[in-house]
Each structure stands twice: as structure tokens, then as C-alpha cells.
């Protein structure tokens, strides 16, 4: 699948001075769903502990197969979509079996992490 073109639509610094950790990464939506062999798009919202959207965060995504000790065959590019929404693509799950995807978001000394599991058929 192709990666959608990001379309940022607001100021990444809006509200940046008032953020409180830990951040919440929710929801995390993978497409296609259920995850299957190949490339995916992952969309997520990042909010701070008071539910304010976290714009301008450094977001990383790290897919791994812990049972086999390897990661993804491709590096996902993370794009900011505005209002605390982010897109990671391509999130490539190149083997069938259990995957663990660790997503981290940080800004201004506060951060959050979310770990999501997928079983690729
Ligand atoms: Cu593997």
C-alpha cells in the first residue's frame, strides 16, 4: 500500500508550554486491520495527562518480532497531521507471527509510550 500524503493543518507550537506527562498515545489505529503481511499505516493521537493534544512531538515507532530477535525491514516515516495526530508509514511487518510495536512520543521533557501487539497471519 502507498503512504498517504500528510496534511498538517495547525501550528506545531500551539499549547506547547503547558504540557504535562505522561503522554497518552490513544487511539492507535493500524490499516489494514487486522494487520497482515506487508506495509501498514499507523495513525495515533498523542495527548498529555490533561487531555491536551501534543503537537510537535518527537514520535518514534519500532516494530519487533521478539521471538525471533529482529525488527522491521523498513524504517517508518512519522508525519505530524496536526492537533496531536500523527501518522507512521510504512510500518512493515514482513513475516507472519507475533509482532510487538513500541511507539514513543516526547516533547519538552515529558513523554509517553504505548506497546501494541499484532499477530500477522
Ligand atoms: Cu521474524
**Does some domain include residue 58?**
yes
Quote the number of domains for the chain.
Answer: 1
Residue 18's pLDDT is 86
pLDDT tens-place string over residues 92-112: 999 999 999 999 999 999 999
Residue 98's pLDDT is 98
Ligand 1 center from residue 121 Cα (angstroms): 12
- 121 vs 117: CA distance, rounded Å: 13
Residue 34's pLDDT is 96
Residue 11's pLDDT is 86
Q: Are 104 and 28 in contact (CB under 8 A)?
A: no
Question: How far lies 97's CA from each of 37, 44, 54, 120, in Å?
Answer: 9, 23, 33, 5
**Does some domain include residue 106?**
yes
Ligand 1 center from residue 68 Cα (angstroms): 5
Ligand 1 center from residue 69 Cα (angstroms): 7
The CATH number of whichever domain residue 23 belongs to comes to: 2.60.40.10
Q: Which set of grid coordinates corresponds to residue 25?
A: 498515545
- 56 vs 30: CA distance, rounded Å: 21
- 39 vs 33: CA distance, rounded Å: 11
**Does some domain include residue 53?**
yes
pLDDT tens-place string over residues 11-54: 888 877 789 999 999 999 999 999 999 999 999 999 999 999 99
Task: State the residue range of the domain holding 31.
Answer: 16-120
Q: Name residues with Cβ closer than 5 Å to ligand 1, which is an ion.
A: 65, 68, 95
**Does some domain include residue 73?**
yes
Average pLDDT over residues 48-65: 97
- 64 vs 85: CA distance, rounded Å: 23
Amino acid at each position: 500500500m502507498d503512504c498517504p500524503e500528510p496534511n498538517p493543518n495547525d501550528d506545531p507550537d500551539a499549547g506547547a508550554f503547558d504540557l504535562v506527562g505522561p503522554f497518552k498515545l490513544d487511539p492507535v489505529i493500524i490499516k489494514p486491520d487486522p494487520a497482515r503481511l506487508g506495509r501498514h499505516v499507523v495513525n495515533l493521537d498523542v495527548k498529555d495527562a490533561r487531555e491536551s493534544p501534543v503537537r510537535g512531538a518527537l514520535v518514534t515507532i519500532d516494530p519487533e518480532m521478539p521471538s525471533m530477535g529482529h525488527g522491521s525491514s523498513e524504517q517508518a516515516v512519522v508525519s505530524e497531521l496536526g492537533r496531536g495526530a500523527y501518522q507512521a508509514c510504512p510500518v512493515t511487518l514482513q513475516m507472519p507471527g507475533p509482532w510487538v510495536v513500541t511507539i514513543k512520543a516526547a516533547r519538552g521533557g515529558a513523554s509517553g509510550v504505548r506497546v501494541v501487539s499484532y499477530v500477522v497471519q
